[in-house]
């Protein structure tokens, strides 16, 4: 026949297992969330670099168009100058100045194009690094998500079985003991512990020999550790196989 202290000890066993399962899952969802944020941040960086590269490309094509316009205009001016269409020296000088301006503008545009080409090369290298970094984190995330999924599936059956046993036990155990057990659980996860070598295995305080004798003689009484308040059960008490 099961005694209340045996039921409490079995409850403590089940709760320890449930706590462990909770802990196992506890870290994984947090890690998945962290990796999700890391992936999002890296995607943002990749997008930023891609936008900069698009800007450079469109600037490049605009500059080429302007450059061509300048070239055409210069040819036209030179043509005006050298085919005798200029009416006087003043007009000739004005055209010469305009041609000089166009040439200096073309030099400026060439420099700009060279600078942009350098910038583009740097950004392409950066993009390569950012993309491989992103891929690393996406792989890490996929792996963690799989771990979490597998563990959840694996735990599901065990969890249900433990919950069912726990429900049966908590219904069968003396109600006052159960309430006390739950109250202690709010500050000690292991609310009921066995005595090991004459000491509380929760806080390692020694139990007086007198109390040990009392406990042996009153297997249906309720004893707690004087130091930590945990419920104590005898060293030789075995928890039923089904609750192990």
State the nearest-atom distance from the C-beta of 187 to Zn ion, in Å: 12
State the nearest-atom distance from the C-beta of 209 to Zn ion, in Å: 16
Could you say whether residue 215 binds Zn ion (CB under 5 A)?
no
CA nearest to 181, candidates 214, 229, 226: 229
Query: CB-wise, 134 or 184, nearer to Zn ion?
Result: 184
**Residues 152-211 contacting Zn ion, CB under 5 A:** 200, 202-203, 205
Query: CB-wise, 14 or 202, nearer to Zn ion?
Result: 202
CA distance 26 to 79: 81
Could you say whether residue 227 binds Zn ion (CB under 5 A)?
yes
CA distance 15 to 160: 13
Query: CB-wise, 43 or 206, nearer to Zn ion?
Result: 206
Query: CB-wise, 127 or 228, nearer to Zn ion?
Result: 228
The DSSP bridge partners found for residue 196 are 199
State the nearest-atom distance from the C-beta of 161 to Zn ion, in Å: 30
- Which residue stretch of 8-16, 143-151, 170-178, 226-234 sits at the interface with Zn ion (rule: CB under 5 A)? 226-234
- Sheet of strand 199-200, all strands in order from the earlier edge strand to the far edge: 199-200, 192-196, 231-233
CA distance 154 to 148: 10
For residues 111 to 150, the per-residue mask of contacts with Zn ion, x marking binding by CB under 5 A and - elsewhere, is: ----------------------------------------
Query: CB-wise, 126 or 203, nearer to Zn ion?
Result: 203
Q: Which of 35, 215, 225, 231 binds Zn ion (CB under 5 A)?
A: 225
Could you say whether residue 32 binds Zn ion (CB under 5 A)?
no
Residues within the interface to Zn ion (CB under 5 A): 200, 202-203, 205, 225, 227-228
């Amino acid at each position: 026949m099961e005694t209340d202290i045996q039921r409490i000890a079995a409850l403590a066993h089940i709760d320890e297992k449930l706590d462990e399962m909770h802990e196992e899952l506890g870290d994984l969802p947090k890690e998945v969330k962290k990796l999700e944020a890391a992936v999002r941040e890296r995607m943002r960086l990749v997008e930023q670099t891609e936008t900069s590269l698009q800007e450079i490309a469109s600037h490049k094509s605009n500059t080429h168009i302007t450059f061509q316009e300048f070239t055409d205009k210069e040819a036209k001016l030179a043509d005006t100058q050298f085919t005798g269409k200029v009416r006087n020296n003043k007009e000739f000088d004005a055209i010469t100045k305009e041609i000089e301006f166009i040439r200096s503008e073309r030099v400026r545009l060439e420099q700009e194009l060279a600078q942009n080409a350098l910038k583009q090369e740097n950004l392409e290298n950066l993009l390569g690094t950012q993309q491989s970094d992103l891929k690393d984190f996406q792989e890490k995330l996929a792996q963690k998500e799989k771990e979490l999924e597998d563990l959840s599936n694996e735990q599901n059956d065990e969890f249900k079985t433990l919950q069912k046993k726990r429900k049966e036990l908590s219904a069968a155990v003396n109600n006052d003991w159960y309430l006390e057990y739950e109250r202690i659980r709010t500050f000690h996860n292991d609310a009921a512990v066995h005595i090991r070598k004459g000491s509380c295995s929760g806080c390692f305080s020694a139990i007086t020999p007198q109390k040990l004798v009392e406990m042996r003689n009153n297997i249906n009484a309720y004893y707690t550790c004087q130091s930590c308040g945990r419920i104590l059960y005898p060293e030789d008490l075995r928890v039923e196989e089904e609750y192990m």
